[in-house]
C-alpha cells in the first residue's frame, strides 16, 4: 500500500475569519469515507463545526462516495464526530457560547500513523472593511516584493 498524501485545505478561512486558537482533532470515519478521503475526494470549504450534547461534530463536509464500493456506501454530507479530549471540548463549548463565534475547519491531513486529522480553529467573522484592509495589505506586500526583486 503506497503512502498517499492527503492535504485538503479551506483556502477562504483566513480571508473570511479572524482565527484565534487552533486545535487538531481526529475524525470518526467509516471504511468508504476514509478511502474516498485518501483519494482526495473531499471538501471542507463549506464546512463548520457544531457542539451537540457534549461532543463536537463537523457539519456540511463533503466526502464523495467511493466509486468501488457496493451497496454499502456513506452519505456525502452527514455529520462526523470530531475526536478531542475533554479540556479542549470544554474550551470550545465556552468559546461557542459567545455570539458571533464559530468553529471552522482549516486543513485535513494524514498523520504519521496514517490517521486522518483535522485542524480546526476558533474564529470570529470579519467585517467587509476588514476584508478590504487584508486585500490592500496583500497588494502592498506584492508591490514591495516586486520592487525588491528588481
Domains of the chain (ranges; CATH) run: 7-149 (2.40.280.10)
Contact 5, 40 (CB under 8 A): no
Contact 78, 61 (CB under 8 A): no
Average pLDDT value for the chain? 87
User: In this model, does residue 16 exceed pLDDT 80?
Assistant: yes
Alpha carbon of 2 to those of 5, 21, 33, 123: distances in Å?
10, 34, 18, 36
- 9-18, 34-43, 69-78, 102-111, range with the lowest pLDDT: 69-78
Q: Say which residue, 6 or 103, is predicted with more confidence.
A: 103
- Dist. CA 57–CA 50, nearest whole Å: 5
The pLDDT value given to residue 143: 93
The b-or-e profile of 56-67 (16+ CB within 10 A means b, else e) is bbbebbebbebe
User: In this model, does residue 42 exceed pLDDT 80?
Assistant: yes
Contact 57, 50 (CB under 8 A): yes
Amino acid at each position: 500500500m503506497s503512502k498517499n498524501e492527503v492535504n485538503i485545505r479551506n483556502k477562504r478561512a483566513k480571508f473570511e475569519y479572524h482565527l484565534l486558537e487552533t486545535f487538531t482533532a481526529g475524525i470518526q470515519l467509516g471504511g468508504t469515507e476514509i478511502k474516498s478521503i485518501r483519494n482526495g475526494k473531499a471538501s471542507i470549504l463549506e464546512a463548520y463545526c457544531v457542539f451537540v450534547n457534549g461532543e463536537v461534530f463537523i457539519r456540511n463536509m463533503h466526502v464523495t462516495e467511493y466509486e468501488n464500493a457496493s451497496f454499502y456506501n456513506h452519505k456525502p454530507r452527514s455529520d462526523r464526530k470530531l475526536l478531542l479530549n475533554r479540556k479542549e471540548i470544554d474550551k470550545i463549548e465556552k468559546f461557542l457560547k459567545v455570539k458571533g463565534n464559530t468553529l471552522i475547519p482549516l486543513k485535513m491531513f494524514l498523520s504519521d500513523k496514517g490517521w486522518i486529522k483535522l485542524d480546526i480553529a476558533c474564529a470570529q467573522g470579519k467585517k467587509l472593511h476588514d476584508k478590504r484592509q487584508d486585500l490592500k495589505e496583500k497588494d502592498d506586500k506584492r508591490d514591495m516584493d516586486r520592487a525588491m526583486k528588481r
